[in-house]
Structure 1
Amino acid sequence: MKGFADRVNSVEEYYFSSKLREVNQMIADGKPIISLAIGSPDMAPDKLVIDALKSTADNSQSHGYQSYQGIPQLRASIANFYSKEYGVNLDPNKEILPMMGSKEGIMHLSMTFLNPGDEVLVPNPGYPTYTSVTNLLGAKPIFYSIDLEKSGRPNLEELENRDLSKVKIMWINYPHMPTGAPGNKAILQELVAFAKKHEIVLLHDNPYSHILTKEPISILSIPEAKEVAMELNSLSKAFNMPGWRVGMLAGREDWITKVLKVKSNMDSGMFLGIQKGAIAALNLGESWFTDIESTYQSRRKLVWKLADKLNLTYDTKAAGLFVWCKVSDGKSADQLVDELLYEKNIFITPGKIFGSEGEGYVRFSLCMPEFKILEAINRIK
């Protein structure tokens, strides 16, 4: 044995991959764990979505390899969705690429644009996968802060004062995970101008745009954004389909073509039944989002009550699937996470896993029924 690749040493096992082993063992040992840690929707997809999967699976001709670009009907449904929800016109044959999850899309995009030694602008706090994929490819993450008092605006003035000559791509994410900073069109306009000025590829990760937001926004709705930006989106959160692994990439044709070259060497297409289910989801009416909104609003109010019991502070204007809370003085976030897990059997996420700016914060997920959140509140009492 001559050893493992150096890249294995550049990353750690994903936090939830390792921590869940401990939590699952506690559950196996009889501990009544309430998990408010992970953003995996607990509700089912719409019945039309499931029926589309079932009926396709029953067809004996549905089980072969599929196109790397997805079936035309899926791309057309994505284009219609973008037009209806974001006011963005996309060519379904040239500007859309279905993905087997947007997390995988982060790897596809990074492999398409990055060489070893390139630099990548990554939000801090931010989704850990941006950093880990950058490290796996031998590129260098450059962390930038966001202003939670200004809807999550990046500190562009600070970035302007540094050497950006090696920066190839910049990851942005609104509504922002983990903080819920909603972003706005003014921020996206600034970012498009910044990317054009410095010849940076702007990559917007946009899975939370329909969760507790006033208006769903795509960066591609910003004038001239297609020149410098691409967008990842997902059905996981908005349509309760995280395990189906359905994502999408939208952007200019020549860049989509390059990403397809990478993707086609890494998978063999998405199962037809899943594509048919995705089409059904994308064509659901507005009542679907209205019902989801109502459910998450009720859950969020209860999580706010739980946070109040724990003397935590939070932003009631935040969006997305999580509640980001600052721990009060006198106690560390790690202390609080451990006390809740080992004394109250409540599992929440420490903010530090999202970067150094997450120190002193914790994150609650809204992916738990109201009666469970109420039980958690009672345990704190």
Structure 2
Amino acid sequence: MITEAQRLQSVQEYYFSKKLQEIANMQTDIPIISLGIGSPDLQPHPAVIEELIKNAQNGINGYQSYRGIPEMREAMATFYKSKFNVDANPSTEILPLMGSKEGIMHISMAFLNEGDKVLIPNPGYPTYSSVTELVQAEPLFYDLTNENDWLPDFDQLEKLAKQKPKIMWINYPHMPTGAKAPKDVLRKLVEFATRHQILIVNDNPYSFILNDEPTSILEIEGAKDVCIELNSLSKTFNIAGWRIGMVIGKETFINSILKVKSNMDSGMNFAIQKAAAKALLVDDSWYDELTTIYAERRKAIWEIADLLDVKYNPDTAGMFIWAKLPEDVDDKEFIDEILYTKKIFITPGSIFGSNGKGFIRFSLCAPIEKLIEVKKRLEA
């Protein structure tokens, strides 16, 4: 009998993979409206589409450099300099990725040995813990709580540091809660990592959605010695399916990740790289337009949350609204009731960790017309 690898014994199929299949199999008289996944429904900038088409027609379709074309890496460096005031050498300190989710695996494979400890936020992106387990390292969950504005408890971190973790995952603006990390918190994280020789990986794809002050941990003095940052074009430029991400950090870190990446893929499509370079250099009116659209949707989601009698913090960033259910209401039972009776899908908070229990998450990736329909269904 052929059995699966032992590493899969602690890893489950991704929640959305299973739930979306369940929804697809449902027999319904009205369409299901999904407020679950953060998959942008808006169009990319017209110039980006034009660049993609033009370069797709030029016949350059072969394997590309694992490091990406110089034009795209230079655009990534320009983006980081103009938006975060972070200097990064495009030749040695930037590595394009086929989506930042790929980077989570590459980084873990590059730095973790079997049994190494990894600090993972609770609640947090489930891929951090599943990849940690896939490489047979050990998750150490650190608490993020509503009472502490979903920021790390440094007393708890100091206690966990005694177990000598090798990597710490952070993610600000935070998914799923939308919490923003002030620079003094990022500074304390850099000091913590320096003191304990921990590699911090900041996963930073939501900085430009409903956020007046985009930040990078690499802005902090000394961060490059102990930090790297993942970023993605998926959310900011509405090109999630194109799979374009990047990791930024000092050359030695990048070279270690490249050893893994170069054995995993054969380079990003040329036309997509050219289009990515174009996207990274759009003017500020693009971000203003995004903000206007998402702000209107956020207001509609707040009204939906009020109808459901759930509490939310209006001062958050990103493309989700995180809301607290009344006491003793089970989040998975709550969202299933709405799914089956109102044909509306909302994400239960407990899939992001035990500290997400009793919360739900709404996505802003639905046009205002659908949000109006959600309100009508709930009012009915």
> TM-score with structure 1 length normalisation?
0.97
In structure 1, what is the Cα distance between the partners aligned to 2:271 and 2:352? 35
2:23 is aligned with what amino acid? V
In structure 2, what is the Cα distance between the partners aligned to 1:51 and 1:250? 28
Determine if contact 2:80/2:86 at 8 Å carries over to the other structure.
yes
Matches within 5 A, 1:66-105: 66-105=64-103
Which residue of the partner structure matches residue 56 of structure 2?
A: 57
2:38 aligns to what SS in structure 1? coil
Structure 1 position 338, deviation (Å): 1.0
Structure 1 position 163, deviation (Å): 5.0
2:166 aligns to what SS in structure 1? strand
Which residue of the partner structure matches residue 301 of structure 1?
A: 299
2:263 aligns to what SS in structure 1? coil
Determine if contact 2:338/2:344 at 8 Å carries over to the other structure.
yes
Structure 1 position 158, deviation (Å): 1.3
Q: Deviations over 1:104-131 (max 9, x none)?
A: 0000000001001001000000000000
Q: Deviations over 1:237-264 (max 9, x none)?
A: 0000110000000000011011001000
2:303 is aligned with what amino acid? K
Q: Would you say 1:250 and 2:248 are equivalent positions?
A: yes
Structure 1 position 151, deviation (Å): 4.4
2:229 aligns to what SS in structure 1? strand
2:129 is aligned with what amino acid? T
Q: Deviations over 1:323-371 (max 9, x none)?
A: 0010012532122101110000000000010000010011000000011
Which residue of the partner structure matches residue 282 of structure 1?
A: 280
Determine if contact 1:220/1:230 at 8 Å carries over to the other structure.
yes
Which residue of the partner structure matches residue 366 of structure 2?
A: 368
2:342 is aligned with what amino acid? K
Match of 1:146 among 144, 147, 161: 144
Which residue of the partner structure matches residue 226 of structure 1?
A: 224
In structure 2, what is the Cα distance between the partners aligned to 1:285 and 1:14? 36
Which residue of the partner structure matches residue 166 of structure 1?
A: 164
1:230 aligns to what SS in structure 2? strand
Which residue of the partner structure matches residue 155 of structure 2?
A: 157
Q: Deviations over 1:297-342 (max 9, x none)?
A: 0000100000000000010111111000100125321221011100
Structure 1 position 29, deviation (Å): 4.7
Determine if contact 1:124/1:357 at 8 Å carries over to the other structure.
yes
Structure 1 position 272, deviation (Å): 0.4
In structure 2, what is the Cα distance between the partners aligned to 1:72 and 1:163? 39
Determine if contact 1:231/1:251 at 8 Å carries over to the other structure.
yes
Which residue of the partner structure matches residue 113 of structure 1?
A: 111
1:4 is aligned with what amino acid? E
- Percent identity for Structure 1 against Structure 2: 53
Determine if contact 1:66/1:271 at 8 Å carries over to the other structure.
yes
Determine if contact 1:36/1:348 at 8 Å carries over to the other structure.
yes
Determine if contact 1:231/1:250 at 8 Å carries over to the other structure.
yes
Structure 1 position 164, deviation (Å): 3.0
Q: Would you say 1:14 and 2:14 are equivalent positions?
A: yes
2:337 aligns to what SS in structure 1? helix
Farther-moved stretch of structure 1 (162-171 vs 109-118) = 162-171
Determine if contact 1:302/1:374 at 8 Å carries over to the other structure.
yes
In structure 2, what is the Cα distance between the partners aligned to 1:120 and 1:218? 21
Residues 162, 284 of structure 1: alpha-carbon distance in 2 compared, 3 angstrom cutoff: closer
In structure 2, what is the Cα distance between the partners aligned to 1:379 and 1:262? 49
Matches within 5 A, 1:182-221: 182-221=180-219
Q: Deviations over 1:114-156 (max 9, x none)?
A: 0010010000000000000000010111101124455432011
Which residue of the partner structure matches residue 134 of structure 1?
A: 132
RMSD (Å) for aligned C-alpha atoms: 1.1
Q: Deviations over 1:149-189 (max 9, x none)?
A: 55432011012124534300000000000000111111100
Structure 1 position 207, deviation (Å): 0.1
Structure 1 position 30, deviation (Å): 4.3
In structure 2, what is the Cα distance between the partners aligned to 1:148 and 1:318? 13
In structure 1, what is the Cα distance between the partners aligned to 2:74 and 2:332? 47
Unaligned runs of 5+ in 1: none
1:161 aligns to what SS in structure 2? helix
Which residue of the partner structure matches residue 240 of structure 1?
A: 238
In structure 1, what is the Cα distance between the partners aligned to 2:224 and 2:44? 31
In structure 2, what is the Cα distance between the partners aligned to 1:147 and 1:212? 22
Structure 1 position 25, deviation (Å): 1.9
In structure 1, what is the Cα distance between the partners aligned to 2:45 and 2:25? 32
In structure 2, what is the Cα distance between the partners aligned to 1:358 and 1:148? 9
Determine if contact 1:321/1:366 at 8 Å carries over to the other structure.
yes
Structure 1 position 44, deviation (Å): 1.0
Match of 1:329 among 327, 330, 343: 327
Which residue of the partner structure matches residue 41 of structure 1?
A: 40
Determine if contact 1:148/1:181 at 8 Å carries over to the other structure.
no
Residues 351, 181 of structure 1: alpha-carbon distance in 2 compared, 3 angstrom cutoff: same
